Chain A
């Protein structure tokens, strides 16, 4: 259980950076969703509650030894898969997807927690092996990842499903997967993409990708958001238009500005200066977490930290790229900043594990 001295080993710098990002997010949510002419929206309050709940989850995930979690990882994994299955049949439908389980306070989205669950189960699985991972290990790990991917993709929520891929790749990479195999995997993914294009992708997904390659071909339709994103970011300039002064986000030229495009709004209202601060904070968080992986006393800890970090980093980099209109529009939120309770709680719980690994580097 929690020993008093562990308290001194908590990585407070990381906690502060995470909270700073949450705070930035709340400010931008307030800016984009409360419109004085239309009555005030309380989304930022909801977000504050989510952060509070997330911090409780974080305390929980760092209080118990991460090895305890790892030992129970198979149960956690099975429970998560069951939840994902439940969602598929009984979940709440919103915007054409069945992703949520309605709870009293907010809508619970199991796929967000699947990221942490998969990180745990993969860390445990690869952590038990000594030496470089073998073919069979990779295969088993792959299957463990593919099951929740399949379930989430079925909702459909391709964006979240894809974020699980980096979890597997990162953990396998750290577990010593041969570079050659990694290369082969990448080639396979590349080769699979035309097949996926033909069979797996829906029309709207195809049009998103094709308009990404040439946004002007459909400036009012699918390319619209991308062009608007670039305009939003570009018009921000060095210092930005000022808090709540952004025209693009405030006037809804950007869809879901408080969610997928929150970084665009930050760029518009706070300018390049604000972008550098946010990028710096994210970079700090990621590098700090990588250090926790390096300092970990065992493989399990390293793998676990990297597993948690992989989906986080992937989402951060992809979302920010998309926010600048430089990647196809995908329903991927920006962890820690975007509006969304499940994501916030799952992310903070994940970082609880990261802190957990770091502060227990001296214990046995």
Chain B
């Protein structure tokens, strides 16, 4: 090589050599900055990159009946959600997902928009109870990396016994925004009880969601689990409900086809043995998120299936109120059980005629037979003698006109009128004539079925106004702990002899010449009283011009059994049931079931009493 060439090559190679060394030094410094100086920052970013915390839904606590028969369980359902954190193109995701699910694109978009403000790592649930086809379709797309931002989760979902005590169980649903801000510990997306015991005992039933820290890859697929915080199942509840009694009530209503309500209590402590409100809804429809159409049909139904008639329905008690008047007259010593009144089919009070339901009149009779025959004139007379204040006092002590305090949400108060009430409400004086109407349960007297059940219990147990309750025991995983029944609302000291006269009258209603024959059960001394309350006045009937069904009278049957040592008390109300004796049919079936079970006899078969119906 020529010298000049050699020199040039050497020089220029030298330049290149320095250049290379400088470049590599720069590289080394860059890596030093990234890996040493800024290490902490990038380490955190890497952690966030590959770790996700997933919520594990806690199953809600199971619900049992008083004999530990399972009533409410959980099943596994699949939910399909979008996690926006992984979304690259939301429009594309929505379009694809809607296509895969067979949904309307606008509907999916609306759901996503509703949750837009939530943190992007929180899944937005699109389908709550997905079909297996939907799950399969979405999973296939996920494997193709087409929907990396869509997750399929298994969630425990409530399952209720079909068409049974819907209003008692209530239903669950996604927590509302108002509920989130009202109570601590709830977060958007939680499923909480929205009605019934699901709502009242939500805190117990809910359990604690667990969490799972998982490693995910760049498309959000889970690779492995780092650690897992098992979800804590909600507490198990034992209810006071007796499945067989409940079933008997439901069968009875199914058989008769009326709307209405029934509440059955243990008069000694207020345990609710059976509870129903008709028409009912299917709580299962809510369990995995109710669809719009079902919701609309429930809320738009004129029969109001969502309202709980047992605690929210207020009805005129009719003749069933007569025991309250009798109690007031006896306890205030206005009359004795032997006090007699002559009924000639009607009587005049304060210049106004009041009719008895029996045109020819009942003749002369004492209290026992007045109850048996449900003679209006007798009760007009003693009610008028007793006065509204005392009737109000004793009706209240028996459980009417006040909330029963049952552990269900949104109980309404009935009404037993009083001069104070009238003054406050209408700024009008009480007229003595109104007392006469009140004496047979007319005028503005209004009661809820649950308060009627308390009323029956108080008559049965001799003056203790028990608080109806549904919760019998709780198991938080460490064994069952009984829940003490709530204290009685009041305890009146009833004179046993006077009370016995009323009970005798009620016994005769069922077992004598009264209207309660349908409830008769040999050997169990069923005692009760029918009530048939006009829904609308006769004049009103003509004006209204509605269908006959809407105008038929409501039928009541309040009862307890056996007469002298009552173990069960309650009420059955049939809306437009024509007559209280129809309600007694259901009472008969449930009492038959109750005693058969108690004594270990085979339970009676499903009733067939359509034929016995009073048209």
Tell me which residues across on chain B come within 8 A of A130, comparing CB atoms.
2, 5
| B24 CB–A CB distance under 8 Å | yes
Question: Contact string, B31-49, partner A, CB cutoff 8 A, digits 1/0?
Answer: 1101110110111011101
Tell me which residues across on chain A come within 8 A of B41, comparing CB atoms.
234
Tell me which residues across on chain B come within 8 A of A293, comparing CB atoms.
9, 13
- Contact residues of A between 226 and 258, Cβ < 8 Å to B: 228, 230-238, 247-248, 251-254
Tell me which residues across on chain B come within 8 A of A290, comparing CB atoms.
13, 16-17, 20
* 4 tightest A-B CB contacts, nearest first: A234-B42, A235-B46, A251-B217, A272-B35
Tell me which residues across on chain A come within 8 A of B335, comparing CB atoms.
none
Tell me which residues across on chain B come within 8 A of A251, comparing CB atoms.
49-50, 215-218, 223
Cβ of B11 to closest chain A Cβ, rounded Å: 10
**In the complex where A247-B50, A294-B10, A326-B30 touch, is A237 in contact with B45 (Cβ < 8 A)?**
no
**B interface SS class:** helix
| A80 CB–B CB distance under 8 Å | no
Across the interface, do A271 and B5 meet the contact criterion of CB distance under 8 Å? no
Question: Which residue of chain B has its CB nearest to the CB of A235?
Answer: B46
Across the interface, do B31 and A233 meet the contact criterion of CB distance under 8 Å? yes
Question: Contact string, A258-283, partner B, CB cutoff 8 A, digits 1/0?
Answer: 00000000010001100110010011
Tell me which residues across on chain B come within 8 A of A302, comparing CB atoms.
1, 9, 13
| B21 CB–A CB distance under 8 Å | yes
- Contact residues of A between 107 and 135, Cβ < 8 Å to B: 130-132
Chain B interface residues (CB < 8 Å from chain A): 1-2, 4-5, 8-10, 12-13, 16-17, 20-21, 23-24, 27-28, 30-32, 34-36, 38-39, 41-43, 45-47, 49-50, 88, 215-219, 223-224
Identify which of A131, A230, A236, A237 contacts B5 (C-beta below 8 A): A131
Report the bound CA distance from A302 to B23 in whole Å.
Answer: 22
| A214 CB–B CB distance under 8 Å | no
Tell me which residues across on chain B come within 8 A of A287, comparing CB atoms.
17, 20-21
**In the complex where A230-B42, A233-B35 touch, is A253 in contact with B27 (Cβ < 8 A)?**
no
| A154 CB–B CB distance under 8 Å | no
11 residue pairs A–B, Cβ–Cβ below 8 Å = A173-B12, A231-B49, A234-B41, A252-B219, A283-B20, A283-B24, A286-B20, A290-B16, A299-B9, A306-B16, A320-B27
Report the bound CA distance from A324 to B27 in whole Å.
Answer: 9
Question: Which residue of chain A has its CB nearest to the CB of B86?
Answer: A220
Report the bound CA distance from A254 to B218 in whole Å.
Answer: 8
Across the interface, do A238 and B88 meet the contact criterion of CB distance under 8 Å? no
Tell me which residues across on chain A come within 8 A of B35, comparing CB atoms.
233-234, 236-238, 267, 271-272, 275
With A233-B31, A248-B49, A272-B31 known, 6 other A-B pairs at CB within 8 A are A174-B9, A231-B42, A237-B39, A271-B35, A283-B24, A324-B27
Cβ of A196 to closest chain B Cβ, rounded Å: 24
| A317 CB–B CB distance under 8 Å | yes
**In the complex where A237-B36, A253-B218 touch, is A299 in contact with B17 (Cβ < 8 A)?**
no
Tell me which residues across on chain A come within 8 A of B219, comparing CB atoms.
252
Tell me which residues across on chain B come within 8 A of A238, comparing CB atoms.
35-36, 39
Report the bound CA distance from A233 to B38 in whole Å.
Answer: 10
**In the complex where A174-B9, A287-B20, A302-B9 touch, is A233 in contact with B34 (Cβ < 8 A)?**
yes
Identify which of B21, B88, B216 contacts A283 (C-beta below 8 A): B21
**In the complex where A252-B217, A286-B20 touch, is A235 in contact with B9 (Cβ < 8 A)?**
no
Across the interface, do B215 and A247 meet the contact criterion of CB distance under 8 Å? yes
| A311 CB–B CB distance under 8 Å | no
Across the interface, do A321 and B9 meet the contact criterion of CB distance under 8 Å? no
Question: Contact string, A188-201, partner B, CB cutoff 8 A, digits 1/0?
Answer: 00000000000000
Tell me which residues across on chain A come within 8 A of B215, comparing CB atoms.
247, 251
Report the bound CA distance from A173 to B17 in whole Å.
Answer: 13
Across the interface, do A232 and B20 meet the contact criterion of CB distance under 8 Å? no
| A297 CB–B CB distance under 8 Å | yes
- Contact residues of A between 276 and 334, Cβ < 8 Å to B: 276, 279, 282-283, 286-287, 290, 293-294, 296-299, 302, 306, 313, 317, 320-321, 324, 326
| A170 CB–B CB distance under 8 Å | yes
Question: Which residue of chain B has its CB nearest to the CB of A241?
Answer: B46
| A221 CB–B CB distance under 8 Å | yes
Identify which of B43, B88, B224 contacts A234 (C-beta below 8 A): B43
Report the bound CA distance from A111 to B50 in whole Å.
Answer: 37
Tell me which residues across on chain B come within 8 A of A232, comparing CB atoms.
46
Cβ of A22 to closest chain B Cβ, rounded Å: 19
Across the interface, do A294 and B13 meet the contact criterion of CB distance under 8 Å? yes
Across the interface, do B36 and A313 meet the contact criterion of CB distance under 8 Å? no
Identify which of B5, B21, B88 contacts A299 (C-beta below 8 A): B5
Tell me which residues across on chain B come within 8 A of A102, comparing CB atoms.
none
| A37 CB–B CB distance under 8 Å | yes
